[in-house]
């Protein structure tokens, strides 16, 4: 496999993994801050709106966790493919003794 192709795959995948890993705590922190700010003086409409937003964020986090799992699987497959390709010897050309 071409080293440039591998780099073209690994760099974006690593960026996505980093974004997922760093994004999860940020989303959770935002949810906690919003829930704390509501307090007892919030109207029913505000509470329902924020509950809907919280559920939407939780579903996105769940999707990100699934994506992180799939990314890990993809990395394992890429490592396996690299090992298989590294073990393969290039065929010798007849009469090319140089």
Structural domain count of the chain: 1
- pLDDT confidence of residue 92: 62
Residue 87 in any domain: the answer is no
- What element of type H or E holds 77? helix 44-87
Instruction: Dump pLDDT digits (tens) for 25-42.
Output: 777 777 777 777 766 666
pLDDT in tens, 45-68: 777 888 888 888 888 887 888 888
Is residue 90 a part of any domain in this protein? no
Q: How many residues does the chain have?
A: 98
pTM summary value = 0.41
Which residues fall within 8 angstroms of residue 82, CB to CB, at 6 or more apart?
A: 1, 6
* DSSP conformation class of 92: P
For residue 94, tell me if it sits in a domain.
Answer: no
Q: Is residue 36 part of a domain?
A: yes
DSSP state of 95: T
In percent, the amount of the chain with pLDDT more than 90 equals 0
């Amino acid at each position: 496999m071409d080293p440039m192709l591998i780099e073209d795959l690994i760099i974006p995948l690593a960026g996505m993994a980093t974004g997922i890993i760093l994004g999860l705590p940020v989303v959770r922190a935002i949810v906690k801050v919003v829930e704390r700010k509501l307090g007892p003086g919030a109207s029913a409409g505000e509470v329902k709106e924020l509950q809907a937003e919280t559920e939407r964020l939780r579903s996105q986090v769940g999707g990100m966790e699934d994506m992180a799992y799939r990314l890990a699987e993809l990395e394992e497959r890429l490592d396996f493919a690299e090992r298989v390709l590294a073990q393969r010897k290039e065929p010798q050309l007849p009469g090319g003794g140089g």
